[in-house]
Chains A and B, each alone.
Chain A
Amino acid sequence: MTRADAKVLLEVKGLHANVAGVEILKGIDLVVRAGEVHAIMGPNGSGKSTFAKALAGHPAYEVTAGTATFEGRNIFDMAAEERARAGLFLGFQYPLEIPGVSNAAFLRLAYNTVQGARGKDELDPLEFDDYVREKMKLLEMDASFLDRSVNDGFSGGEKKRNEILQMALLEPRLAILDETDSGLDIDALRVVSGGVNRLLTRDNAVVLVTHYQRLLNYIVPDYVHVMEGGRIIKTGGRELAVELEARGYDWLKGKVAA
């Protein structure tokens, strides 16, 4: 839901970023207000994940120009963990496996770290166990995933569910979900989308990076952006996603968003 008077959560202006000395992001502008759902679409290699990771603070992405503020703070002055604690969440396109660390311990550590930083109460293992099981129920996740190592041997879809579980626990102000729908079966897509919708309020926002219009039937976007060659070349409403699904990206090539 867009409201002109809603608080600006994220404001990106003229963002340029390099990876390994190569410029990938070539001037991105984006404003996300509280209560909004944005979708970013675009061909493979257009820079969507790079944009998401640069915002989340990945050290390999070197910001060479432009600004980005999160609730008024310059995020490039903040370490990745500070951004997370401030309420920025990245759902990974490829969540990492960490054999040897139990998912339960990891989730609790993340939860308590973020809670502590926000001046809220931490939970001991027993309290946390109750809490996380509640959240897992909403995502129709089996409790056995708590005992396994983080993402270790999880199927593609299970990893994505685990990402949304983390989002549910960390209660971010702004969640950037990078292809959370890829790898989900039809039922899982419904469940995970339902989970995301339930987390959306007037005070937070989500940016969905996706290749498929289908996701946007479940989580309805206010804006759809098309990224190409490290720029947002077009922005429209949800109907743009439908059009892209029908026509592909070719007709947009060479255009730059007005």
Chain B
Amino acid sequence: MSTVVGATHPYIASLLNGCESGHDQLSWLGERRAAALERANALAVPTTRDEEWRFTDITPLTRVPFQPAVAVPHPGADDVAKFIIPEAGVRLTFVDGMFAPELSANAGLPYGVVVTSLAAGLATHGSVIERHLARHARFEQDVFAALNTARLRDGALVWVAKNQQCPTPVQLLFLSTQKAVAAYPRCLVVAEAGAELTLVEEYASLVDNAYFTDAVTEVAIGDGAQVRHVRLQREARDAFHIATCAVALAKDANYASHAITLGARISRHDLSVRQGGEGAEARLDGLTLIGGRQLADTHTLLDHGRPNGRSRQLHKCIVGGAAHAVFSGKIAVAPGAQLTDSAQESRNLLLSNKAHVDTKPQLEIFADDVKCAHGATVGQLEAEHLFYLQSRGLSEQRARNLLTYAFGAEVIDGIPVPSLVEQLEETVLAETQSAE
């Protein structure tokens, strides 16, 4: 375990300030962190000259040398109350990147379901963690995943044993409270063969600050297991949020993602789903609702590596003000992944003349007997629809809000947590009002 040569990129160096490898008790963990640190040191901050970052200029991020929190904040239970999902029987809360057991809850999980901090999980479920941690989210070419892994101290572990069902949704709540702080949230979610899980991963803030969240989530879904994953990003409007989510599907595994992006000044969500077993199924729903000067970039990869895979993707963006949304959806079908059935739809609604969206499907198909459909639309609210509603007495503003809401409802209504559906419906109605 070598200590490190300095980072080649000054901004990366500033983010890595004080980060060392070599202090882990577990050698495998130490090695993975060291490897990540090495990559973080070698990589540069991406620019718009990088193909994967063509539409997303993150220079504003690089003006602030965000540091991990030093002071441990203790928000009260009242501050956190509004984020609590009543359906969730268990909740882990992290504040500025640190586990906050006093704000977490565990209403008694059945045998075979573990929801705990990674640090605690290492003692009891070390071999599960060793099998998966930093094995799915690749950091070799991704400086932010490398940074997160190098900075890895704690995180969330959700493990569901073979053929077990987690009876209620699990909530992982990441809150930010401090200015100029960098948080490196980390989640590891493992559903063993035949297991079932509904997960809500949420990023939010208690104050309107400029801070930086660099998150990595890994989800491993075993043979025939099923994971429904709600991801809610409602960071502060001045925050930066860059996140990688890597999902590995085994044979006949089933994954449904509902990713909602509302917050942050600049946000990036990389979601990759790799079908490593036959007959796996993935449904990716996404909704981005932004306004003002926000920029939200979603990159997805559906990697059909084995035959008989199926994927359905619907990504919607509602863009107001002078905001900019990006969607890049890659679908890869490996040679031999015959009978893959994949469909992707990108639908976008622009609420103002200055709003902007870049949508880019990418198909890389190397098998011949496959179905791959994709389509993209960009439009505004239709005058006929507005008139219909106004002719029923609704004001123009009200009609616009309702139609905007209706556009997002298709994604929101699919979320398998009723209280969240209700909350988001209200948010969308309110947000569209302020986006105008």
Contact = CB atoms under 8 A, between A and B. Distances in A.
Contact of B405 (A60, A83, A101): A101
B405 A81 contact: no
Given A59-B387, A80-B387, A90-B391, A100 B396 contact: no
Interface string A113-134: 1100100000000000000000
B120 interface: no
B410 A100 contact: yes
B409 A101 contact: yes
B395 interface: yes
Interface string B394-427: 1110110011011111100100000000000000
A4 B394 CA distance: 35
Contacts of A241: none
Interface in B383-397: 383-385, 387-396
From B388, B392, B407, name the one whose CB has the most chain A CB atoms within 10 angstroms.
B392
Contacts of B403: 98, 101
A27 interface: no
A81 B395 contact: yes
At the interface, is chain B mostly helix, strand, loop or mixed? helix
B390 A109 contact: no
B388 A92 contact: yes
A81 B391 CA distance: 5
A229 interface: no
B391 A57 contact: yes
Contact of A109 (B387, B388, B391, B402): B402
A79 B392 CA distance: 12
B383 A98 contact: no
Nearest to A91: B391
Nearest to A113: B393
A85 B393 CA distance: 5
A180 to B, nearest CB: 14
Q: For chain A, which range describes its interface: under 10, 10 to 19, 20 to 34, or 35 or more residues?
A: 20 to 34
Contacts of A80: 387, 390-391
B326 to A, nearest CB: 24
A110 B383 contact: no
A84 interface: yes
B406 A96 contact: no
A149 B410 CA distance: 11
Contact of A110 (B392, B405, B406, B407): B392
A205 B402 CA distance: 31
A96 to B, nearest CB: 4
Contacts of B392: 81, 84, 106, 110, 113-114, 166, 170
Contacts of B410: 99-100
B391 A113 contact: no
A231 to B, nearest CB: 25
Contact of B391 (A84, A101, A106): A84
Contacts of A43: none
B394 A113 contact: yes
Contact of B383 (A59, A81, A89, A90): A59
A99 B383 CA distance: 16
From A57, A89, A96, A117, name the one whose CB has the most chain B CB atoms within 10 angstroms.
A96
A252 B406 CA distance: 47
B239 to A, nearest CB: 29
Nearest to A85: B393
Interface of A: 53, 56-60, 79-81, 83-85, 89-90, 92, 95-96, 98-101, 106, 109-110, 113-114, 117, 149, 166, 170
21 contacts: A56-B391, A57-B391, A58-B387, A59-B383, A80-B387, A81-B393, A84-B390, A98-B389, A99-B409, A99-B410, A100-B405, A100-B407, A100-B413, A101-B405, A101-B406, A109-B398, A110-B389, A110-B393, A113-B394, A149-B406, A170-B392
Leading 5 A-B pairs by shortest Cβ distance:
A100-B406, A100-B409, A110-B392, A80-B390, A114-B393
